[in-house]
Amino acid sequence: MEHTSLLERVLRGIALTLVVVFFMFPIVWIFMMSFQTNEMILRIPPQLVFEPTLANYTALITGKLQTAAGTLDIAFMRNLWNSIFLSVTSVAVALLLGVPAAYAFARHKFRGSEDIAFTLLSFRFAPALLVLLPLTLYFQKLGLANTYFGLIWVYQLICLPLILWIVRGYFEDIPADIEYAYRIAGHSWFATFRKIALPLAGPGIAAAGLLAFIFAWNNFVFALVLASADKQPVTVGALAFITSSGIQYGQISAAIVLSITPTLALALYAQRYLVEGLSLGAVKG
Amino acid sequence: MHRAKPSGFRISKRVLPYLLSLPALLVCIGILIPFLTSVVYSFQRYRLSQPWARQFNWGDNYISFFTDPKFWNTLEISLLYAGITVGLELLLGLGIAMLLQKRSSLNNFISIMLLMPLMTAPALAALMWKLMTNPGFGVLSYLASLIGLQDFRWASSPSTALLTVVLVDIWVYTPFIMILLLAGLRSLPTQPFEAAALDGVPRSFVFFRITLPMLTPYILTATLFRLLDSIQQFDIIYAMTQGGPGDTLTVFQVEAYLNFFQSTNVGRSAALMIILWAITYFLSNIFIKNWLRLRERARGQA
């Protein structure tokens, strides 16, 4: 494929341009809308050149929206905080539970270990509402409805299988002989785990954590079913936004930009590990 | 480094792995309980609005599906949605992966950029497209009017609602297939291709007889993975149209959600989810076999 004709190169160029335009355009457009006032947005034909305004972002951050009808409260910062808190805590819990289990599954094959690992994996593919709908009734009885604790528990459905299966692969890649040598030198099992296995699998654990964070952040259905307004993350909060009256399109766009920026930034940072994470460790990038 | 002192409390080697995986096991159990509850609900006549009338009706929820046009609509639209999205995404993803196959800094940059839709929350992606297809000011409605489609209603018209959500699904998930196939393409051994080039084999032949067969495990894994997610699609459809207009887009999970929260018919909702679960269970068994094979291969290379 070294000697490509000019025609082919031109066609490839056009195809690639179309691909980039299709996939980038919505992000660029919403980004532009977030710097426009409502009057600019409503103008037809849509304007490519405009005077940017930060008014949408100030309205979101201060939580006050000045309209002709008076001042409106926007709870968006609360949603943003919920997203951060829920995602960070869920990933921390999943790492705490998942990393030792991954190590056990990788190093000590024991009876039932594969069954547990595959059951956890199958959760990744089971319909979320199958579990969520009975859980709403249980949570109401247990007093867990609309609590961070309940939400974080349910978020383990996404975080734990991901962390378990990716980190397990990293532990399996460490030659067992290194650990045996350290054990023979008289160190305890725990010291071996902490001083040898954990540092060697470190990059993989970090990558799994970042990915789990992205998936927790992007989750929609858990909080939609189990949380009410004050516990909702941005994915659910932004949807409530569009239906509430008086909110303007510029603010919705700004809210979307603020909500997707963290995951996009993390994805760019962790892109080396994305392929592996997305395929749950089956394909290496 | 200090030597570990023998502590008074020693965990025997046999118990240790169980102890380590205990939390994961507990999470498993914590999730299997609501799952089993769902199974029980699906055999009950259970409406939240009439708790007194709750009783086992055994298979009635399932049997009534046979004569229920709403159920057949749900099944049809779910399968249609999964088939169209995964089919188109596979073709597009494979095409884009082939375009980006050569390792160059431009190609790498583009492939990283294309990950951005995939990292956008699907619910927010639907919201973005909702803004762009707004009949009042949406840029896509404007572009549609430019090419002669006056008053193109996108998601608010029953005839184009499916097209619109499929478009959003393609926007979000094509990069998923692209990135897996790109990794697959780049990991293929080069010798067969060099040999084919030396022999002057036509490129269509190379594609169908060398590239595709060697890429099959990757294609299978990516396709099944997407199929499993797509048949359960909720976020995009709910955020975009909440299953409407009418019942145009009431796929399984959306229909179950509406049944539970709007008509408070827990029994029917649970039965729907069990049927969806049976479908995904069947698919995931095939998937896991392929996925394991690919995983073994990736670990082998490491």
Q: Are A203 and A251 contained in the same domain?
A: yes
- Comparing A62-66, A75-79, A117-121, the range with the smallest average pLDDT is A62-66
pLDDT in tens, B92-135: 999 999 999 888 889 889 988 898 999 999 999 999 998 888 87
Confidence of residue B3 (pLDDT cuts 50, 70, 90): very low
- pLDDT exceeds 60 at position B2: no
Distance CA A219, CA A215 (A): 6
CB-based contact, B20 to chain A, within 8 Å: yes
Find where tokens 């996108």 sit: B154
CB-based contact, B284 to chain A, within 8 Å: yes
* Minimum-distance CB partner of B234 among A107, A153, A221: A221
* Minimum-distance CB partner of A274 among B30, B41, B115: B115
- Comparing A96-105, A198-207, B53-62, the range with the smallest average pLDDT is B53-62
Q: Are A89 and A120 contained in the same domain?
A: yes
Structure confidence at residue A27 (pLDDT):
94
* Minimum-distance CB partner of A42 among B102, B132, B137: B137
Confidence of residue A261 (pLDDT cuts 50, 70, 90): very high
Q: Are A190 and A146 contained in the same domain?
A: yes
* Minimum-distance CB partner of A127 among B33, B127, B276: B276
Mean of pLDDT values over A165-176? 86
Residue of chain B with shortest Cα separation from A28: B128
Which CATH number applies to B75-267? 1.10.3720.10
- pLDDT exceeds 70 at position A1: no
**Mean of all residue pLDDT scores within chain B:** 85
CB-based contact, B267 to chain A, within 8 Å: no
CATH code of the domain in which A180 resides: 1.10.3720.10
Please report how many Cα atoms fall inside a 13 Å half-sphere around the Cα of residue A164, on the Cβ side: 31
Instruction: With respect to residue A102, please indicate whether it lies within any of the assigned structural domains.
Output: yes
Q: Are A54 and A155 contained in the same domain?
A: no
φ and ψ at A65, to 5 degrees? Answer: -120, 120
Structural element, H or E, at residue A66: strand A64-67
Structure confidence at residue B57 (pLDDT):
81
CB-based contact, B270 to chain A, within 8 Å: yes
Beta carbons of B124 and A260 less than 8 angstroms apart = yes
Structure confidence at residue A247 (pLDDT):
65
Distance CA A58, CA B67 (A): 55
Structure confidence at residue A23 (pLDDT):
93
Shortest distance, CA B2 to any CA of chain A (angstroms): 9
Residue of chain A with shortest Cα separation from B278: A126
3-state helix, strand and coil shares in percent for chain B, rounded to the nearest 5: 75, 0, 25
Shortest distance, CA A82 to any CA of chain B (angstroms): 15
Beta carbons of B241 and B155 less than 8 angstroms apart = yes
List the structure tokens of B88.
């188109």
Shortest distance, CA A144 to any CA of chain B (angstroms): 14
Helix B161-187, helix B105-113: angle, nearest 10: 140
Q: Are A66 and A174 contained in the same domain?
A: no
Structure confidence at residue A244 (pLDDT):
64
Boundary of a domain, candidates A23, A39, A73: A73
CA distances to A25, A43, A136, A187 from B143, rounded to whole Å, are 13, 14, 43, 69
CB-based contact, B31 to chain A, within 8 Å: yes
Residue of chain A with shortest Cα separation from B133: A26
Structure confidence at residue A69 (pLDDT):
63
Question: Residue B170: what residue type?
Answer: I
pLDDT in tens, A140-163: 888 888 889 989 988 988 898 889
Structure confidence at residue B95 (pLDDT):
93
Domain ranges of chain B: 35-67, 75-267
Chain A residues close to B136, C-beta within 8 Å: 42
Distance CA B238, CA A45 (A): 30
Chain A residues close to B116, C-beta within 8 Å: 23-24, 27, 264, 267
- pLDDT exceeds 80 at position A260: yes
pLDDT in tens, B83-94: 999 999 999 999
Shortest distance, CA B212 to any CA of chain A (angstroms): 16
Peptide bond into B158 cis (omega under 30): no
ipTM of this model? 0.89
Find where tokens 């009885």 sit: A141
Shortest distance, CA A249 to any CA of chain B (angstroms): 8
pLDDT in tens, B137-179: 788 888 888 887 777 788 778 888 889 999 999 999 999 999 9
Structure confidence at residue B10 (pLDDT):
57
- pLDDT exceeds 90 at position B32: no
CB-based contact, B44 to chain A, within 8 Å: no
Q: Are A114 and A204 contained in the same domain?
A: yes
Boundary of a domain, candidates A37, A56, A73: A73
Residue of chain A with shortest Cα separation from B31: A131
Structure confidence at residue B8 (pLDDT):
42
The answer to whether B179 contacts A274, with C-beta atoms less than 8 Å apart, is yes
pLDDT in tens, A4-46: 788 888 999 999 999 999 999 999 999 988 888 877 887 777 7
Q: Are A11 and A148 contained in the same domain?
A: no
Give the count of beta carbons closer than 10 Å to the beta carbon of residue A155: 23
Helix (H, G, I), strand (E, B) or coil at A64: strand
The answer to whether B20 contacts A100, with C-beta atoms less than 8 Å apart, is yes
Q: What angle do CA A135, A140, A97 make, to 5 degrees?
A: 50
Domain housing A240: 76-278
Interface of B with A in 56-85 (CB under 8 A): none
* Minimum-distance CB partner of A101 among B21, B174, B276: B21
pLDDT in tens, B254-290: 988 998 888 888 888 899 999 999 999 888 888 888 8
Mean of pLDDT values over B6-23? 68
Structure confidence at residue A57 (pLDDT):
87
Instruction: With respect to residue A261, please indicate whether it lies within any of the assigned structural domains.
Output: yes
Find where tokens 């024991």 sit: A110
Report how many Cβ contacts below 8 Å link chain A to chain B.
286
Q: Are A52 and A100 contained in the same domain?
A: no
The answer to whether B274 contacts A282, with C-beta atoms less than 8 Å apart, is no
Q: Are A254 and A175 contained in the same domain?
A: yes
Q: Are A129 and A249 contained in the same domain?
A: yes
Residue of chain A with shortest Cα separation from B238: A221
Beta carbons of A123 and A161 less than 8 angstroms apart = yes
Structure confidence at residue B188 (pLDDT):
85
Q: Are A132 and A242 contained in the same domain?
A: yes
The answer to whether A15 contacts B113, with C-beta atoms less than 8 Å apart, is no
Distance CA A220, CA A129 (A): 12
- pLDDT exceeds 80 at position A269: yes
Find where tokens 């760019």 sit: A268
Structure confidence at residue A279 (pLDDT):
80
Of B97, B195, B104, B292, whose CA–CA distance to A118 is shortest?
Answer: B292
Confidence of residue B65 (pLDDT cuts 50, 70, 90): confident
Structure confidence at residue A86 (pLDDT):
93
Boundary of a domain, candidates A38, A53, A73: A73
Mean of pLDDT values over B175-185? 91
Spell out the residues 6+ positions from residue B140 whose beta carbon is closer than 8 angstroms to its own.
Answer: B129, B132, B133, B154
Residue of chain B with shortest Cα separation from A267: B119
Beta-bridge mates of residue A73: A64
Residue of chain B with shortest Cα separation from A112: B18
- What total of structural domains would you count in chain A? 2
Beta carbons of A280 and A208 less than 8 angstroms apart = no
Q: Are A60 and A185 contained in the same domain?
A: no
Residue of chain A with shortest Cα separation from B287: A125
DSSP B85: H
The answer to whether B121 contacts A113, with C-beta atoms less than 8 Å apart, is no
The answer to whether B139 contacts A16, with C-beta atoms less than 8 Å apart, is no
Helix (H, G, I), strand (E, B) or coil at B116: helix
Structure confidence at residue B6 (pLDDT):
47
CB-based contact, B289 to chain A, within 8 Å: no
Instruction: With respect to residue A122, please indicate whether it lies within any of the assigned structural domains.
Output: yes
Instruction: With respect to residue A285, please indicate whether it lies within any of the assigned structural domains.
Output: no
CB-based contact, B202 to chain A, within 8 Å: no
pLDDT in tens, B188-218: 888 888 888 888 888 888 888 888 888 888 8
